[in-house]
Chain A
Amino acid sequence: MDTFSIALTFVIFFGSLILIFWEKVNRIIVAVCGSVAMLVAGKLLGFYDEELAIEAIDFNTLGLLLGMMILVAMLEPTGFFEYLAVLAARASKGKPVRLFVLLGIVTTVLAMFLDNVTTVVLIAPVTILISEILGVSPLPYLMTEALLSNVGGVATLIGDPPNVLIGSAAGFSFNDFLVYSLPIVFFSWVGAIFLLKQLFKKELSKRPRRSKAVMKLSPAESLNQPVIARRILIVLGAAILLFFVHHLLHVEPSLIALGAAAVSLLWVQPDIQEVLKKVEWSVLVFFGSLFIMVGGLEHSGALEMIVKLFEGASGMHPVLFGVLVIWIVAALSAVVDNVPITIALIPVIEGLGNAGMDIAPLWWALAFGAGFGGSGTIIGSSANIIVATLSEKTRTPITSAIWIKRGLPVMIVTCAIASILYVLAYPLF
């Protein structure tokens, strides 16, 4: 093992992470440059090459993300998301607490199966509309949607990019997530919504000035393309059913997602350029670049060193170690993107497994930490950034200080609930 290679790969990887955190240079540009630097260093020093880099990319993750992105890109213009938000508004009859819970449920359920960012991007504008019509501040609703989408995404294999990564690396099935993650997420979610209701007590107790106006919102008219929406939802439903049994069929989730995308493309025959424009290629490039960087860390022997460091800590009680992983990963995810953290920690956990540690519970600890940690700060998750950016164009902008007061408690409470349940359920993992 060459110390110089190890040091160099460390510098490239952590230098990139710092640049991503610093936010002066776009994170995707940083990742592309970092991965190229890693590859050049590897070629010069002889520990890494193009073939190994391609091997390092987890195409299962990329395929699953791409498939779901295409489905969502097609579902977006149909008005289905607005339709659900309008239904929630009508069902609330203009009562703030009821509206708060209903919008929270809609966002969570969508975030469990679809991309959080898309969910929030489409629900948040309608939320601003509903609250303006009612004459109340949109702030509590917007923040709650972002926070609950972070929490809800942890529940399923396809809910959140870190879960896709963890599922793919650990070989967890869709059902594994429903059995091990969903119950813990459920209790954390309940904790989060009760806490948020308390934190926004003042805003939510204000009586709306025109509560009857929401009853004049027409859900049918917000659903612009009902036929297309129905077709995509049928395909999406079938895909979710297949996710339940994918491990029995020996089919990777990526094939199901890409298959669903293919079937709905054929059934709907949309303008393919428009659909592909909406796919977030930058995210896929970001993932690919991070995989290549972490592959460099692995082949230079740097990861082995980190694993040895952790082994020192493995004298620690395994349950305590797991809880510690939840909180450390959560704290990191609150300030940096949780994707690079997850991609970097996956080989570390695999290394600990090779060293003889029982790592099944650690995967779940990583999932909870990466998912719940995003709630902690305004930049913790993409959903947070989106509602904050949208709110800047309204009369009640969400500031970093507001987020610390209302979002950080949610992160702490969800992590605490997850930790308690993790300890109680440890023997079952």
Chain B
Amino acid sequence: MNVTTCMKRNVVSIPASTSIREAAAIFVKKHIGLLPVVDKNDKPVGVIGIRDLLKLEMPDFVNFVMDVDFVHDFGAVEDTRPPAATLKKPVRSLMRPVITVEEDCGLLRAYSLMLQQNLHDIPVVSKDGKLIGIASRVDIGVTILKAWEKVD
């Protein structure tokens, strides 16, 4: 079985010129965690995830203080918002390099790649490099687990 059997085909993607504010609105509207960024030929050029946006709001101290057990209230940090100038920037400035699998990739191979690279969703591309779908860990994981039902 390969990854096309479980991937979502109606994948939402954005061009690199989309502003961070617009990207945030798409995350909210579609309730998704990862947006592939594509060029005009539908080829993935990067990804942007909710965590990349949330990093803008994370307090500086999480970079210095390893253990925040003793901090029960983040106080003023809870109501900070990224400045308007940041939100206006294109996602190009924030996106990460994309890791994709081709459509004939096996399920376990795709899953192990996600574990190693710490990915939660992985875009799937066709042989000519076009974005054709996206699969999450849950999509792939449950498809693998389904096979267990046949074990006596």
Judge if A328 is at the interface, Cβ distance under 8 Å: no
Q: Are B70 and A134 in contact (CB under 8 A)?
A: no
Given known A129-B61, A132-B59, A395-B60, contact A217–B76 (CB-CB < 8 A): no
CA distance A129 to B74 in the complex (A): 9
Query: From residue B110, how far is it (CB to closest CB) to chain A in Å?
Result: 35
Q: Are A213 and B75 in contact (CB under 8 A)?
A: yes
Name which residue of chain B comes closest to A394, CB basis. Answer: B60
Query: From residue A222, how far is it (CB to closest CB) to chain B in Å?
Result: 4
Hey, which chain A residues are within 8 Å of B148, CB to CB? none
Q: Are B61 and A213 in contact (CB under 8 A)?
A: no
Q: Are A133 and B70 in contact (CB under 8 A)?
A: no
Main secondary structure of the interface of B (DSSP, over half): loop
Of the four ranges (under 10, 10 to 19, 20 to 34, 35 or more), the interface on chain B belongs to 20 to 34
Judge if A135 is at the interface, Cβ distance under 8 Å: yes
Judge if B1 is at the interface, Cβ distance under 8 Å: no
Q: Are B64 and A209 in contact (CB under 8 A)?
A: no
Which of A134, A221, A224, A394 is in CB contact (< 8 Å) with B75? A134
Query: From residue A117, how far is it (CB to closest CB) to chain B in Å?
Result: 15
Judge if B128 is at the interface, Cβ distance under 8 Å: no
| Contact residues of B between 54 and 97, Cβ < 8 Å to A | 59-61, 63-65, 67-80
Query: From residue A92, how far is it (CB to closest CB) to chain B in Å?
Result: 13
Query: From residue B86, how far is it (CB to closest CB) to chain A in Å?
Result: 11
Q: Are A133 and B73 in contact (CB under 8 A)?
A: yes
Given known A125-B65, A209-B76, A210-B76, contact A133–B60 (CB-CB < 8 A): no
Name which residue of chain A comes closest to B69, CB basis. Answer: A221
| Contact residues of A between 381 and 401, Cβ < 8 Å to B | 390, 393-395
Of the four ranges (under 10, 10 to 19, 20 to 34, 35 or more), the interface on chain A belongs to 20 to 34
Hey, which chain A residues are within 8 Å of B76, CB to CB? 132-135, 208-210, 213
Q: Are A132 and B61 in contact (CB under 8 A)?
A: yes
| Contact residues of B between 120 and 151, Cβ < 8 Å to A | none
CA distance A129 to B76 in the complex (A): 11
Given known A128-B60, A129-B61, contact A224–B71 (CB-CB < 8 A): no
Q: Are A222 and B74 in contact (CB under 8 A)?
A: no
| Contact residues of B between 12 and 71, Cβ < 8 Å to A | 59-61, 63-65, 67-71
Which of A86, A213, A214 has the most B CB atoms < 10 Å from its CB?
Answer: A213
Which of A132, A134, A217, A394 is in CB contact (< 8 Å) with B72? A217
Query: From residue B75, how far is it (CB to closest CB) to chain A in Å?
Result: 3
Hey, which chain B residues are within 8 Å of A395, CB to CB? 60
Hey, which chain B residues are within 8 Å of A29, CB to CB? none
Given known A126-B65, A128-B64, contact A86–B70 (CB-CB < 8 A): yes
Q: Are B72 and A393 in contact (CB under 8 A)?
A: no
Hey, which chain B residues are within 8 Å of A219, CB to CB? 70
Query: From residue B17, how far is it (CB to closest CB) to chain A in Å?
Result: 27
Hey, which chain B residues are within 8 Å of A212, CB to CB? 75
Q: Are A133 and B72 in contact (CB under 8 A)?
A: no
CA distance A79 to B67 in the complex (A): 10
Given known A129-B59, A393-B64, contact A82–B70 (CB-CB < 8 A): yes
The residues of B with any CB-CB pair to A shorter than 8 Å are: 59-61, 63-65, 67-80
The residues of A with any CB-CB pair to B shorter than 8 Å are: 79, 82, 86, 124-126, 128-129, 132-135, 208-210, 212-214, 216-222, 224, 390, 393-395
The 8 closest A-B pairs by CB, nearest first: A135-B76, A213-B75, A125-B64, A133-B75, A221-B70, A129-B61, A222-B70, A210-B75
Please name 29 pairs of A and B residues whose Cβ atoms are closer than 8 Å in the assembled complex, sorted by A.
Answer: A82-B65, A86-B70, A125-B65, A128-B60, A129-B59, A129-B71, A132-B61, A132-B75, A133-B71, A133-B77, A134-B75, A135-B75, A135-B77, A210-B78, A210-B79, A212-B75, A213-B74, A213-B76, A214-B75, A216-B71, A216-B73, A217-B72, A217-B73, A218-B72, A220-B70, A221-B70, A222-B67, A390-B64, A393-B64
- 10 new A-B pairs (CB below 8 Å) besides A134-B75, A217-B71, A222-B67? A79-B67, A125-B64, A125-B65, A132-B74, A132-B77, A133-B77, A208-B76, A210-B78, A393-B63, A395-B60
